[in-house]
Amino acid sequence: MMTEMANTLTCIVCRSALAPGHQDWHFTCRRCGLERSNLKVKINHNFSLDEDQRLQALHAVRQRNAKQVIGHLTRLLNKSSLQILDVGPGPGWFLDEAAKIYAPVGIEPDRSIFDRLQSKGHKVINGFFPEDVPKDQMFDAIIFNDVLEHIEDIPTAISKCSEMIFPGGLLSVALPVKSGLFYKLSKIMSMAGFPSFFKRLWQVDMPSPHLYYFSTKNLTQLVETDGFRLAVCEPMDVLTYDGLFERIRYSGENSFLKATVLFLPIAFLVFLHKLLPRDTFLLIFTKAK
Ligand SMILES: [Zn+2]
């Protein structure tokens, strides 16, 4: 109980006391800007049809995000075979892509997700990171895609990564950041008395809500205390021009003429979105040699 209270009230980055935030479950660090919640995690729920449909809608973007991470691993490590650990693979978008080149392993606590990944032919450990990773196993890269912000004890997770990654290896973290446009909008709406978007972004009432919102700066500060150095810090692509016309044409079954008319305003929105503060970032850290 004492530990839980201490975690709730102390910043994991700068050790300052956390101050009350915008909701009774939300806290902020006035010194480094870290935000956290005391929302409860419920692992081992059952997938619903709604979730399946939501996953389908996200597929193209997630596949692209996975390729973005793998491109960096290939470039930075430059080895023909890589031992990769994907923490909390979820539907397996990263494993699907990584398995085309390397032999990645996933670690997944949720039994039904674990079963799905195994039935797709992926190598997966059913359990929690870091305690269920086989002892003395080392990796070239450990991957957290939309996962780190769900972990209660992040400092321990990062120091375990430092022990499990070969010198010169990589720790890759993709996560929502507090500087994002949508996150900032959600806060303004919450302060104006409309908290539903803010609660949605923190995934309140979802099986695994967000426990933290970092900035790229305070995350780097935290990870670099464990012998890592920042190598990549860039926004994750959410909307792209690639195949945009085809997506407009076929996703809504639009005629060629209608798709042509729709293309320009949608392309303009994609262009605008690239200029605005992005909500998801990719940070890759190199372990000291
Ligand atoms: Zn702080």
* CATH number of the domain bearing residue 116: 3.40.50.150
Cα(213) to centroid(ligand 1), Å: 11
Q: Is residue 270 part of a domain?
A: yes
Q: Is residue 220 part of a domain?
A: yes
Cα(35) to centroid(ligand 1), Å: 8
Q: How many CB atoms lie within 10 A of CB 5?
A: 10
Cα(218) to centroid(ligand 1), Å: 8
In the block, tokens 């059952």 appear at: 46
Cα(216) to centroid(ligand 1), Å: 13
Please give the structure tokens belonging to residue 41.
């995690």
Q: Is residue 203 part of a domain?
A: no
Range of the domain at 151: 49-177+214-287
Q: Is residue 76 part of a domain?
A: yes
Q: Is residue 96 part of a domain?
A: yes
Q: What is the pLDDT of residues 151-203, one digit of tens each?
A: 999 999 999 999 999 999 999 999 999 999 889 999 999 999 999 999 999 99
Q: Is residue 196 part of a domain?
A: no
Domain count, the chain: 1
Cα(193) to centroid(ligand 1), Å: 26
Q: Kindly list the distances between the CA atom of residue 112 and the CA atoms of 19, 54, 213, 239, in Å, as whole numbers in the listed order.
A: 37, 17, 27, 30
Nearest residue to 28 via CA among 18, 15, 39: 18
Q: Is residue 8 part of a domain?
A: no
Residue 60 reports pLDDT greater than 90: no
Q: What is the pLDDT of residues 217-272, one digit of tens each?
A: 999 999 999 999 999 999 987 666 666 777 677 666 778 888 888 888 878 777 77
pTM of the model: 0.86
Cα(4) to centroid(ligand 1), Å: 17
Cα(18) to centroid(ligand 1), Å: 7
